[in-house]
Amino acid sequence: MSHTRTCLQLCFLLVFLSYTVQRVNGVWPLPQQTEESAERYTLSPQLFSFTYGTDSAVKVGCSVLDAAFKRYFSIIFPDFADASEPHPVWSQFKGFGVSVSVKSSGCDGYPDEDSDESYKLSVSEGQALLRSVSVWGALRGLESLSQLVYQDDYGSYFINKTQIVDFPRFAYRGLLLDTSRHYLPLHAILKTLDAMSYSKFNVFHWHIVDDPSFPYQSRSFPDLSNKGAFHPFTHIYTQTDIRRVIEHSRMRGIRVVPEFDSPGHTQSWGKGQPDLLTPCYKGDVPSGSFGPVNPTLDSTYNFMGRLFKEVKSVFPDSYVHIGGDEVSFSCWMSNPNVGAFMKKMGFGKDYTKLESFYMENIMNMTATLNKTSIVWQDVFDYHERIPQDTILEIWKGTTAQYQAEMSRMTKAGHRVVLSAPWYINHISYGQDWRYSYAIQPQNFTGTEEQKKLVIGGEVAMWGEYVDATNLTPRLWPRACAAAERLWSDEAKTLNTDLAFPRLVDFRCKLLRRGIQAEPLFVGYCRHEYNGL
């Protein structure tokens, strides 16, 4: 009888232990290749260290990785408040070292379109070996390592024996924030950048100005924000703010691509820059309202040239988004001076030719500044003469429509960024992340060479109904679906039912890291959001 009771107690203990040490659901986004063993190792914060490998081209003093080691120590051991304070160490704990070896030097630069984000990670008893070509790949590997660590109900930390070979499917994995329709405080942008790094996004598309407000504080044209921002002191981004965003991004391997959209979406510009916008007419007299940028005046191009010269000096990335979407022609059509210019240029009554004239001038301007232009798809649709290196961003249409657009664009030899299916400012009841997850960016009619011209995709969070109060829960974890589609092997990640428990687990990780990610369905996280 006692023997039976002992067996039952032992079985219960084993079941209890298997429950309390819940296995982690791996890494999000899913690595290209993963081998994980049931063999696990206990980690002690006091006996855990990051070091540079003896063959590493970067050493102590590398700004990006020195900061990352400190950041990821806190992420891996969230309960370990201060490593400098004495904590009891159990004798059975063994030391664990993470050795990072980077093949190429370069810690002080910025990530770019050619950055190598690949890495290899090997976890075994007492050590993890992380190897990468660049520091940007090392950052991705550190993120994956951090997600492999898990805790039991008693607070002990574990990691399993693991082998990972990983690299991104697409080089451009972007997220757009709109800071014109609602001003987003700096802390909200920085927190978004943190969350982006957890999902391996690598491009912050900063739609910084638009019709409602002009929060960018220009050195050359201070009246743009003085008169065009919601408030000239509290609702602006100073040059110091922008440098902080760019540096915060750099330290996480994220590029900052600013957008200054014109000739439409510029109502706020006109408040601080006289004669920039086109006066609208009612009959033979001005109506008092204004339309898009006036493309007929030399002063317009002088202004835009000076503005983009400043943008080049402020934003180090080689890309700049110059917009070109949703231009209403009604104001141009009403203005007799514009009509006379159209006649002089031989454009007839085709106002798409006038927009083409303007956009071609802006694209030539940015090319002179050695910037690669990104434009919205409207510019291509108007059959404008687009420089071959211009990147086209698709933002509208049904699945069939944007697939046909991708076929046309890539056939013309242009690189493409897909955003249309990932406008996640649109919300619906239920698990709409499943739709985002099912998108296949290269599923369109075209050759293999055409499909290689799809350089990635972008999640867009437009700001009509979004500010700092709801930005984070509306973005996360819904944006994570696109993050995995853009990083991982599509063939391994098309099943949303298999992805669901992994995404639930990752959402809980985000909560633990202070990201207020909304729930995916009924359930709980062991560590609920605590208001950090």
pTM here? 0.94
- Can you state the percent helix, strand and coil of the chain, rounding each to 5? 40, 20, 40
pLDDT in tens, 333-355: 999 999 999 999 999 999 999 99
**pLDDT for 86:** 44
Q: What is the pLDDT of residue 325?
A: 95
CATH number of 33-87+96-166: 3.30.379.10
Beta carbons within 8 Å of 113's beta carbon, 6+ residues apart: 171, 172, 318, 319, 372, 455
pLDDT at site 94: 83
pLDDT tens sequence across 380-413: 998 778 999 999 999 999 999 999 999 999 999 9
| pLDDT per residue as tens digits for the range 446-482 | 999 999 999 999 999 999 999 999 999 999 999 999 9
What pLDDT is attached to residue 26? Answer: 87
DSSP 108-168: SS---TT----EEEEEETTEEEEEESSHHHHHHHHHHHHHH-EE-TT--EEEEEEEEEE--
| Phi and psi, residue 136, nearest 5° | -70, -40
pLDDT (average), residues 41-47: 96
Kindly give, in sequence order, each residue whose CB lies less than 8 Å from that of residue 353, ignoring residues fewer than 6 positions away.
342, 345, 347
Q: Of 310, 326, 490, 518, which residue is the catalytic one?
A: 326
How many CB atoms are located within 10 Å of the residue 4 CB?
Answer: 8
User: Range with the lowest mean pLDDT among 13-17, 162-166, 182-186, 302-306?
Assistant: 13-17
Active site residue 85: no
How far does the chain reach from its first CA to its final CA, in angstroms? Answer: 53
pLDDT at position 82 is 45
CATH number of 172-497: 3.20.20.80
Q: How far apart are the C-alpha atoms of 488 and 507, rounded to whole Å?
A: 18
For 210, the 3-state DSSP assignment is coil
Residue 33 in tokens: 């290749």
Cα separation, 206 vs 216, whole angstroms: 11
Q: Looking at this protein, which amino acid is placed at residue 502?
A: R
pLDDT of 13? 39
Q: What is the pLDDT of residue 57?
A: 97
CA 405 to chain centre: 23
Q: Enter the tokens of residue 266.
A: 């510029």
| Alpha-carbon span 479 to 437, nearest angstrom | 9
Examine the pLDDT at 5 and tell me if it is beyond 70.
no
| Separation of CA 150 from chain center | 26
Domain boundaries, the chain: 33-87+96-166, 172-497
**Position 99 pLDDT exceeds 60:** yes
Query: How many C-beta neighbours within 10 Å does residue 335 have?
Result: 20
DSSP class of residue 395 equals: -
